[in-house]
Structure 1
Amino acid sequence: MEGDEGYEKSLVRWADNAIKKAGIVVQATCLDDIVKTVKFANENHLDFAVCCGGHASSGSSSSEGGVVLNVRKLNKVRG
């Protein structure tokens, strides 16, 4: 949330026009984080976006006031 450590950094995108002030940014570290975040956004009828690399110049990886699920930390494959 705004004011939390790392919030401003989590809004940075490749294109400045794609930066939006999310209400909540979730830094997912496991599948459970993803499931809970999607469920929360859905149950509360919140705008929802997923950010991985932040390269979408259209702004589709950002949300103005909604929930952004950041999956950048999920960058390993386990067998």
Structure 2
Amino acid sequence: MRILYFAWVKQRVGVAEEELSPPPEVRDVAGLIDWLAVRSPGHAEAFANRKTIRAAVNQDFAGPDHPVAVGDEVAFFPPVTGG
């Protein structure tokens, strides 16, 4: 699974992307966030407030219950506003 991080999420995690193999029990975006949050102090800081994180799976916006699978690209980023 390819995990991408953008903006302050990337700064806190310390990398722009990772290739990871989550365990089989990680089945959705929320489970992936839970799993990532314990990988390092930077991950924990980035995912400490779930309300400030948005996700996309295979370049489509995705909510916490959206499924994830091997081979997916999952991006995490702060909320985006337009103007």
Shorter-chain TM-score above 0.5: no
Q: Larger C-alpha radius of gyration, 1 or 2?
A: 1
After TM superposition, the score normalised by the length of structure 1 is 0.26
